[in-house]
Amino acid sequence: MLLHATGLEKTYATRATAFRRASRVAAVAGVDISLAEGGALGLVGESGCGKSTLARLLLRLIPLSAGRILFEGRDITALPEAALRPLRARMQLIHQNPSAALDPRLSVAEVVAEPLRIHGHDPRGRVASLLAEVGLPGDFLHRYPHELSGGQKQRVCIARALALAPRLLILDEPTSALDVSVQAQVLELLAGLRAQRGLAFLFISHNLAVVRQVCEQVAVMYLGRVVEQGPVDAVLGNPRHPYTQALLASVPRLGAAGVVVVGEAPNPAAPPPGCPFHPRCATAQEACRNGPPPALRNGVACHLAQ
């Protein structure tokens, strides 16, 4: 396993103010993630479900509340930042908004050379070939981010992430800030890079269709938990959890309106008792309302689906 994480938790403590008592918000509440060398796992869910927090936990960009992370078989859970730095070369992140992910004051060449310099490599010659690999011609070297289109900026970000020859790419909504015609180009590029370099993807997206294109495995998150997990065709083609079913039904199809599911995701600071989805679930029963939240078994966390 390239990446193997168990029991990941992230709770934020909100501070007490004159008007509000202190509370604890569980952004990620007990998630296991496994990703094989060269594999592609999609992470889907609506805003606030904890998928971006999970990505940052795995990269050790924010401190864990509980859990254990093995990367390339090595326990990185408690590694200090300095010991983590050399490892960062092999696990990279692509942001949602490429405009914000590029320092506005650095040229394309400087952006792509930056990680090479940090790790003590000579960037000369490498930068142009990295740009060529992401489909940008050499005359982009001396341009600045504000002179590029969204798709071009995302290509620069991908080149920067590839500079250190990573094994794992965590992509946090990499195409949701892009136009569809450009999204398809970037997805093609990513698929090609993955095949050539044998990269593993953790692909975070709210767009189920994109995940189905890119990934072999998928995990569906709701309120900090994985509620369903498995091969994409099984989960998205034949969903078992009522939430996954709701999510799939809501997607507007060309030619057919989406099906309407009631309610909205609850505030993570005040999650409902029992199964977190029960207030919106059409099939909820007594056990769903009062029992403990269902655990993930056989790829689905639902009292009724098991």
Partner 1 sequence: MGRKFRLALWLLSRSFASMLGIALVVSIVTLALIGPWIVPYPDHVAGGIDLANKLQPPSAAHWFGTDEVGLDILTRVIIGARVSLLVGVAITLSAAAIGVPLGILAGLLGGPVREAIMRLTDLFLSVPGLVLAIALVAALGAGIVNAMIALILVWWPGYVRLAESKALSIRSEPYIEAARVAGASTARILWRHVLPNSLSPLIVKMSMDIGQAILAVASLGFLGLGARPPTPEWGAMISIARGYLPEWWWYAIFPGAFIYAAVLGFNLLGDGLRDILDPKSNRG
Partner 2 sequence: MTPLLAIQDYRLAFDGFDGTAHVLDGIDLQLRAGDTLGVVGESGCGKSVLARSLLRLNPSPPARVVSGQIRFEAEDVLAMPPARLRALRGRRIAMIFQDPASHLNPLLSIGTQMEDAIRGQDSATGRSRPRHAARAHAAALLSAVGLGDAPRLLASHPHQLSGGMRQRVLIAMALAGDPALLVADEPTTALDVTVQAQVLALIAELVRARGLTLMLISHDLGVIAAACARTVVMYAGNIVEDAPTAALLARPLHPYTKGLLAAVPELDRPDIRPRGIPGGIPSLRAPPPGCRFHPRCDRATALCAAEKPALREAIPGRTVACHHAEA
Cβ closest to partner 1, residue 136 vs residue 247:
136
Q: Are 128 and 206 in contact (CB under 8 A)?
A: no
Please state the closest distance from residue 175 (CB atom) to partner 2, in A: 10
Burial 274-285 (b: 16+ CB within 10 A, else e): bbbbbbbbeebe
Please state the closest distance from residue 135 (CB atom) to partner 2, in A: 10
Burial of 91: CB neighbours in 10 Å, binned 0-12, 13-18, 19+: buried
Please state the closest distance from residue 104 (CB atom) to partner 1, in A: 6
Cβ closest to partner 1, residue 72 vs residue 114:
114
Site residues (vs partner 2, CB under 8 A):
46-47, 149-152, 179-188, 206-210, 212-213, 232-233, 236, 246-262, 264-265
The C-alpha atoms of residue 25 and residue 256 are separated, in whole angstroms, by: 38
Residue type, 187: L
Please state the closest distance from residue 227 (CB atom) to partner 2, in A: 14
Residue 103 site contact among partner 2, partner 1, none (CB < 5 to 8 Å, cut-off depends on kind): partner 1
Please state the closest distance from residue 61 (CB atom) to partner 1, in A: 6
Q: Are 269 and 285 in contact (CB under 8 A)?
A: no
The C-alpha atoms of residue 89 and residue 50 are separated, in whole angstroms, by: 25
Residue 22 site contact among partner 2, partner 1, none (CB < 5 to 8 Å, cut-off depends on kind): none
Residue 86 site contact among partner 1, partner 2, none (CB < 5 to 8 Å, cut-off depends on kind): partner 1
Please state the closest distance from residue 99 (CB atom) to partner 1, in A: 9
Cβ closest to partner 2, residue 79 vs residue 248:
248
Region of 140 on the Ramachandran plot (φ > 0 left; ψ -120 to 50 alpha; else beta): alpha
* Nearest residue to 202 (alpha-carbon basis) of 233, 165, 169: 169
Site residues (vs partner 1, CB under 8 A):
59, 61, 85-86, 88-89, 91-93, 95, 97, 100-105, 114-115, 118-119, 146, 157, 160-161, 163-164
Cβ closest to partner 2, residue 87 vs residue 261:
261
Residue 104 site contact among partner 2, partner 1, none (CB < 5 to 8 Å, cut-off depends on kind): partner 1
Phi, psi dihedrals of residue 180, rounded to the nearest 5°: -60, -40
The C-alpha atoms of residue 246 and residue 260 are separated, in whole angstroms, by: 8
